Every structure is written in C-alpha cells, then in structure tokens.
Amino acid sequence: MYTYIDLFSGAGGLSLGFSRKGFSNVFSIDVDPIFCKTYKRNFPNHLLLNEDITTLTQERIKEIIKDKSIDVIIGGPPCQGFSIAGNIGRHFIDDPRNHLFKEFARIVSVVKPKIFLMENVARLYNHNNGKTRSEIIKTFNDMGYIVECRILNTADYGVPQIRRRVIFIGTNNPKIKIHFPEILYSEKQYKTIREAINDLPPLRSGESSSVPNHVAMKHSTQMLTKMSFVKDGGDRNDIPESIRPQKGDVRKYVRYDSSKPSICITGDMRKVFHYEQNRALTVRELARIQTYPDNFIFEGNSIAQQQQVGNSVPPLFADSLANVIKEMLKDA
C-alpha cells in the first residue's frame, strides 16, 4: 500500500481522495483547531498533528515516520505573497508571507518522498510574468526533484464547479514519468449545480433540516427583498436601482445558474443565492458542490464550516490526482 503525508490538511479533501484510492496516511498536519476537529471526526484512524508546521522538527518527523518509505507528500500551502496588491519586484521566495510554501519544501527535503503534489490557486501560474512559478520549480530542482505544473479545472473531472487550480508534481526518481490526469468530461458534459444539490430538502431563511450541516442562514428582511429580484443566473442588475447595492465585490448579489456548474466556492458565499430558493446556500449544499459525501460532517460554527469547505480540494478531483500518482508510482 502506498503511503502519504498531508501538509496543511484542512478539513481533509485531499486526504479523502487519496485514502479512497488506497493510499495509507502516515500523518497529517494543520494549525487550525476547528479544521482539525472536522478532520479527526472524519478520519478517526489518521495521525493528525494539530500544530504549527514551523515547529515540526526533523527529529520529530523521523520519529513519526520511523523506517517507513514515504511515497507522496500532498498539500496546498497558503501563499499570500502573489496577490495583486503584493510588492511588485519582490521575489516570491523572499516574501515572508510565503513562509508556508518554504515549510512545504522543507518537509519534502527532510522526508524525500518519491513524489510530491502541491495545489494552489491558478493565478500563481502567471504571477510576476511566470517568475514565481520558476522560483517554486527551482526550489525543488535544487533538492533533486524534476517538476512539472499545469492548471487544471475541477469541472473536467466531474466536480459541479468551475474551479481552476495549479498543480505541481515533482519526483526525485528519474524512472518516474510525470503526467497529469486525463480530462474526463467535456464542457457539454459538465455536472450542473442543480444535479448536485436539487434533491436536498428545500429551506427558507433560518430553517434547519435533519441532513447534517444543511442549515439555512438567517437573512435580514432587507437582504431577502433584494435577493428576491435576482433571477436564476442573474446578478445585482436585476435589483431595482433604488435598493441596488452600488459598491462591493461584483461576485456578490448573484444567483447561481441552475443550468451550469457552480462558480468557484470560497470561504464566504453568503451573498451568492440559491438558484430558486430565497437564501444563500447551506454548508451541506456547498459541500455537495465540492463533492464531499453527506456523511462527511463539518464541525464549528457556520462561518468556520464555510471556510473549511471553501478552502478544500474537492475530493472527487483528489480521486483523479490520487489515481495519476498511483500510476506514476508503478514505474518507481
């Protein structure tokens, strides 16, 4: 059985995919106690470290791993240093906001897995005219890893959501040929949001149900009035001018289009409305869009639950990534 370590594991989207495909978890680590509560509930047999990765020493890692050979390290380190507002001209590697990427690289250098897989937001790919991508690749090249990266869209793998992510795959074994999962669905075959959530019990603002995490947010009367004007797939321009919000994120005050995959799920979807019910989506509906099974329970308050879902790698996408890593390991 192939082994893996999950860094920045969050609620466990990547872990779920790799575990379902037969990989054995050696340990996972995340600093957030609420995210860890969710992870522990859903992966009771995994060794989870609820701690700051910067304090995880080489000695401790070796103590946990013992004499196990680690096949793959997976994870998505948070990187803030390539935002549009970032310092122009500053190197990605030197930006202190990217210290967590350095931690991912440090653990790879200590463990020396046969393969690593690192996931991040798509804009990293072209940031600073591609220099950021080159810096990341060089960091791993200097450790003896051959690295390739590609932007993948989760909708191509059966996820009912347009979610583009950059995937870096590296190997220190010259026999292993790096490849990425083949596209499974054409644009015409994409799963829609309606297909993903339409069978869940309908809810009004503030109502709950017997389905875990399927609890509707309580909206103000003013908000309910505004959203009532927005049609299926519509936006704030459907709201009468006298009460229309004039400022703020253009991705807010929109209604999901029932005939298409969802827009990208983030940690805050409170002003994006159900395609026909007058409310924001519940955590369970967001989790369905992220392809979590209904028996995967999210802990914490509703905001923490939304953040966990929004920060996740969709498990169905993780399945495809795990499959391709398994194929690559056959050459090792």
Burial class (CB in 10 A: 0-12, 13-18, 19+), 325: buried
CA dist., res. 226 & res. 93, Å (int): 45
Q: Rounded to 5 degrees, what are φ and ψ at 146?
A: -85, 135
Of the CA atoms within 13 Å of residue 114, those in its CB half-sphere come to 22
Secondary structure letter of residue 57 according to DSSP = -
pLDDT of residue 85: 40
pLDDT tens, residue by residue, 229-240: 999 999 999 999
pLDDT of residue 247: 79
Across the range 273-283, mean pLDDT stands at 97
**Positive or negative torsion for Cα 261, 264, 266, 268:** negative
Run of H or E including 310: helix 302-310
Cβ pair 278, 220 in contact under 8 A: no
Low-confidence winner among 18-27, 71-80, 220-229 (lowest mean pLDDT): 71-80
Q: How far apart are CA 98 and CA 87, in angstroms?
A: 13
Query: Percent of the chain having pLDDT more than 90?
Result: 86
Kindly report, residue by residue over 2-12, the tens digit of the pLDDT.
999 999 999 99
How high is the pLDDT of residue 82? 52
**Known catalytic membership, residue 264:** no
pLDDT on residue 143: 97
Q: Give the C-alpha separation, 298 to 42, whole Å.
A: 9
Instruction: Show the domains of the chain with their CATH numbers.
Output: 3-184+314-329 (3.40.50.150)
Distance CA 308, CA 13 (A): 9
Beta strands 272-273; 3-7: pairing state? unpaired
pLDDT of residue 97: 67
**Is residue 248 predicted with pLDDT exceeding 80?**
no
Give pLDDT tens digits for 106-158. 999 999 999 999 999 998 899 888 888 999 999 999 999 999 999 999 999 99
CA distance 330 to 86: 41
Instruction: Output the pLDDT for position 145.
Output: 98
Mean pLDDT for the stretch of residues 184-202:
98
For the chain, the straight-line distance linking the first and the last C-alpha, in angstroms and rounded, comes to 14
pLDDT at 331: 86
CB 317 within 8 A of CB 225: no
Distance CA 79, CA 92 (A): 9
Written as one letter, the residue type at 165 is R
Would you say 165 and 117 are in contact if contact means Cβ atoms under 8 Å apart? Answer: no
Q: What is the mean predicted confidence (pLDDT) over 74-95?
A: 65
Cα–chain-centroid distance for residue 289? Answer: 12
CA distance 60 to 126: 36
pLDDT band at 78 (very low <50, low <70, confident <90, very high): confident
Token reading at 305:
């639950």
pTM: 0.94
What's the rounded mean pLDDT across residues 26-53? 98
